[in-house]
Every structure is written in C-alpha cells, then in structure tokens.
A and B are shown apart, each in its own frame.
Chain A
Amino acid sequence: MTSKPISVLTVDDHPVFREGVAAVLSLEPDIRIVAEAQTAAEALSLFRQHRPDVVLMDIKLPDGSGIEATARICQEFPGAKVIMLTTFKGDVQALGALKAGAWGFLLKNTVRRDLAESVRMVHRGQQRILEEVALELAMHAADEVLSMREMEVLRSVGLGQSNKGIARMLGITEETVKTHVASVLMKLKANDRTHAVLIGMKRGILDLQ
C-alpha cells in the first residue's frame, strides 16, 4: 500500500482500554494512532492539533459525555469522522450519537472483530453501525421521542419520587406531572411506571452505565 495511513485519535479515560485499542490497531499497517485523549476537553484540543482522519470516542468521559464532545468537534470541523464506542446498545444513546454527528457506533466488546474494518469504512465515507444496534434503532424508528421534560419526569420516577415530589422538584403542578407520566407511558408503550423505568434503562433514556 502506498497511500498515507489513516490517522486516528482515541478518546477514553481508561488507560488499559486505550492500550488495548492501540494493540489491536497495531496489527493494521494502514491505520495509525496519532494521539490519545483522556477527557472531552483534551479531545477537542488534540483534534485541532492533529486533524485526525477518524476519532474513536468513549461515550462516557470524566468531564462530560462523548456525545457532547462529538457534537463540539463536528460543529467546529464539519468533516470530522467520529466513531462512538460504548458498552451499551440502547437505541436512544445511539440516536443521540448519530445526531451529534457520529459516523459509527460500536460496542466495546466487539472491538476485536469490528474496529479496524469500521475505521476503514468510516474513513471512506460510509456509516458504520453494528447490526444489533441498527436493529434497536429500526425497532423504535417510528416511536415518538420523549421531550426533555418527559425525560426529567421519567428519571425522577426511576429515583422513586412520587408525583408530588416530582412536582415540587420541577416546579410544576401535580396535574402536569400526571399528564407527563401518562404521555411517557404511551410513548414507551409501558404498562405502568415500573415498566416505563425498565424500558427507559434498556433503551438508554435513563443512564444505567
């Protein structure tokens, strides 16, 4: 191969995981890691400095979420190609990553099989989403999305709050809370509050990572 290797920036706060990724990619002569970041802030500054072809981004970083970091990089560099790495395949998180501008969404335990090929695909300009994640996305593609308020309400329900407690916390009336809860149940196709919380965890609306 005569062309320049694909340059990669890895963003992850676990040094051993970064080492593992570096090891796997060291098997590929056409891919080269040019920088490693541990935080969202560092990711942005290292991106500016190196302009890598592809970024591998952990979804959870010590100073914020990988989704926000991706959005910031893509705003500043519209051509940036970010692959999100996560341990969790909920469709809502994947959707968030894609909306923020990510080109790929991979699970950490499939890195071995998929990473190198995904880096090449994304570099060529193809999106790369794991089949199992794509399936989750497709299953909920026609679902109505929860509003920010409804997510807040669902989160509070998950914390064991009563309607009254939620009303007090969010500064709205109990009636409004009830309306939100009913709407959440309908949108998630949940039988009751507990079921809604379970679905919320499974789909990545509530953080359970």
Chain B
Amino acid sequence: MSFTGAMSACAMALGLFGFLAWLRVRQVSSMLKERHEARLAERDRIARDLHDTLLQSTEGLILKVYTAARRLPLGDPVREYLTRSVDQAEELALEGRQKLLGLRQHTQLRPELSQALAALGLELSADTATTFTAVKKGRVRPLTPATWDEVFSIAREAINNAFKHAAAEHIEAVVTYASSALTVRICDDGRGVPKEAWVGRKTDHIGLCVMRERADELHAELLIDTDAGRGTTVSLTVRTSIAYWRRAPAALLPSDS
C-alpha cells in the first residue's frame, strides 16, 4: 500500500470513529432527554395528585378535629391541646401546598441558573449572618431541562449543606457557561470537613449520595474539595453536548440575555 493510501485509510478510520462517537453522544443525550421528560411528567402528576387528594382531605380532617375540640367545654385542657394541634396541622398543610406549587413552578419555568441560585440563597440567608452571592460567567446559553433540573438540585443540596453545617461567613455560587462545558461551583469559607472524617465515612450521608447519583445521571463530574479549616468547594462540570440546548424553544430562552 502506498503512503497516500495508508494516509487516506487512516483518515477514513478516524472519520468513522468520529462519526460513531458523535452518534453515541446524540444517543445518550436523546435518551437522557426522554427519560427526563417522563420523570418530569410523573413529578407533575404526583404534585397535582397530592394537591387534589391529600391536601384537600387533610383540610377536611382538620375541620373534623376542630369541630371535636369545639364540642368540649371552654377551658378544658384537651380542647386547648386539640386546638393547638389543629393550628399546627394547618401550618403543615400550608407548607405542603407551597412546596407543591414550588415544585411545579420550577419544573415549568427554569429561570437562568445563577438567578435561580441567587433567589435560593437569598431565602436561606434571611435569618443568618452568612452572606451569599451568585455569579454568572460567560455568555448565557439555554440549558436542556434535564441539565437544569439536576444541576439545580445538586447546587441546592450543596448550598443547603453549606448553610446548615459549614458555619461560613460567605457562600458563593459561580455558574460558568463555557463553550467546552457548563460548570457550577459552590464554595464556602466555613470550617470544612476534616480529611479523617471524610475518608472514614464510606457511605456518606444521603444528601451526598443523591448528589452523586444526579451527577452520574448527567455523565457529569462532581468534585468535592474540603479539609478542616479550609472551607468546602463543590464543583460540577457537565459537558457541552449534554448541558446546552442547541435549539431551545423561544419561551425557554433565559430571560436576562
């Protein structure tokens, strides 16, 4: 075989390899999309269901207990006890309703990610001394719904952990829209997790497991960097072919760009 012949065979092989790789990526991302959409529909159905059945019935149950309490004489300690319990039940029902509403709004709207994280941080920092900022880098690109949801959930878990356990002064979320990948980094200047504790805890806590599972779902890389006194940084990298939506419907384009 001549030199040029070998070269062209090589080029063909490379081309074929490239094509196969491309095909595989498309396959993975379309599979991901289908699975995700099915899951969203399911989540929506459950939220609707819970609202329509469980919450309405709970409201009825509250009325029944309230009535029973009202039938007891004024000043009866049992009456007071039941009345207080009814108030608590009412608060729980309200909280449940708001959560369900939030669930559906999130799955239906998906604002630009750093904005969504900023809103979350604002909410969590309300009663604490910890400050929170969310930063956006690069030109905003529309994310696929699967990416948005999984990334938001992972970031939320990381931010929640930082607020709850880190005793941090400052927590920062950085969303970077690069052409090579989407990266989200959550860092805090808190007490961090000592190496020993880290290594010893094989099964981790559930939150971390779920974060890993979600990251795997996106074929994404999740890194957690922490040590005693050094704070914690959680970074998540999702590759371009999975993260970005090449042709997003206009309604889903980020609103700030």
Contact = CB atoms under 8 A, between A and B. Distances in A.
Contacts of B63: 17, 19-21, 23-24, 111-112
Nearest to A115: B63
A20 B111 contact: no
A198 interface: yes
A208 B71 contact: no
Interface residues of A, number: 37
Contacts of B251: 157-162, 193-194, 197
Contacts of A109: 59, 90, 93-94
Interface string B13-46: 0000000000000000000000000000000000
A139 interface: no
A140 to B, nearest CB: 20
A20 B58 CA distance: 9
A51 interface: no
B97 to A, nearest CB: 7
A87 interface: yes
Given A191-B255, A208-B101, A162 B250 contact: yes
A27 B67 contact: yes
Nearest to A27: B70
A163 interface: yes
B138 to A, nearest CB: 20
Interface string A187-209: 00001111101100100000011
A195 B111 CA distance: 10
Interface in A101-117: 108-109, 111-112
Contacts, number: 95
A148 B44 CA distance: 26
- Give the dominant DSSP class at B's interface: helix
B57 interface: yes
Contacts of A111: 59, 63
B23 to A, nearest CB: 27
Interface in B137-189: none
B56 A198 contact: no
A21 B60 contact: yes
B224 interface: no
Interface string A65-100: 000000000000000000000010000000000000
B84 interface: no
Size class of the B contact interface (CB-based, 8 Å): 20 to 34
Contact of B57 (A16, A24, A157): A16
A23 B64 contact: yes
Contact of B249 (A112, A162, A192, A209): A162
A194 B255 contact: yes
Given A26-B67, A191-B255, A87 B249 contact: no
B169 to A, nearest CB: 33
Given A108-B56, A160-B251, A197-B108, A20 B70 contact: no
B194 to A, nearest CB: 43
A14 interface: yes
Contacts of B97: 87
B82 interface: no
A159 B41 CA distance: 12
Nearest to B63: A20
B53 interface: yes
B79 to A, nearest CB: 13
Given A27-B71, A163-B250, A198 B255 contact: no
A16 B60 contact: yes
12 contacts: A14-B57, A17-B59, A19-B60, A20-B61, A20-B64, A21-B63, A87-B55, A87-B59, A108-B59, A112-B63, A158-B108, A193-B255
Interface of B: 51-53, 55-57, 59-64, 66-68, 70-71, 86, 90, 93-94, 97, 101, 104-105, 108-109, 111, 249-252, 255
